[in-house]
């Protein structure tokens, strides 16, 4: 079982990484993450929005209402300068963690 802290960390990294490519609304954001991770990371509505609201409060992302071409109003999220700043150390931390785990599993199998 993955601890909530680790889960939250990966989820935040996923959201920030995907938003780096451009603004997205919640539903599309979840779809994009699912597609780009081949279904390994899936966000239900119940998991996604509390996290988006928390990240918004931390000013890593900013949401604003936009009307699409078909007249549908959606809240689009974009990365803020603080979010961009947060992304690079977060990526580094996770890369380090994955490298450490890989080393560990290699040693375990050797």
Residues near another protein (CB under 8 A) are 25-27, 44-46, 48-51, 53-54, 57-59, 65, 72-75, 81-82, 85
Q: At its nearest, how many Å lie between another protein and the CB of residue 95?
A: 20
Q: At its nearest, how many Å lie between another protein and the CB of residue 73?
A: 7
Cβ closest to another protein, residue 3 vs residue 46: 46
Cβ closest to another protein, residue 37 vs residue 88: 88
How many Å apart are CA 16 and CA 47, to the nearest integer?
Answer: 15
3-state helix, strand, coil in the chain (%, to 5): 65, 15, 25
Q: At its nearest, how many Å lie between another protein and the CB of residue 94?
A: 21
How many Å apart are CA 56 and CA 81, to the nearest integer?
Answer: 12
39: three-class secondary structure by DSSP: coil
User: What tokens appear for 16 in the block?
Assistant: 């920030």
């Amino acid at each position: 079982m993955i601890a909530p802290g680790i889960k939250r960390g990966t989820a935040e990294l996923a959201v920030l990484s995907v938003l780096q490519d451009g603004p997205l609304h919640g539903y599309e954001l979840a779809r994009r993450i699912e597609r780009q991770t081949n279904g390994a990371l899936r966000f239900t509505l119940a998991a996604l929005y509390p996290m988006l609201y928390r990240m918004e409060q931390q000013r890593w992302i900013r949401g604003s209402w936009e009307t699409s071409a078909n007249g549908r109003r959606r809240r689009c999220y974009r990365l803020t300068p603080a979010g961009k700043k947060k992304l690079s150390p977060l990526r580094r931390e996770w890369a380090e963690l994955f490298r450490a785990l890989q080393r560990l599993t290699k040693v375990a199998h050797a």
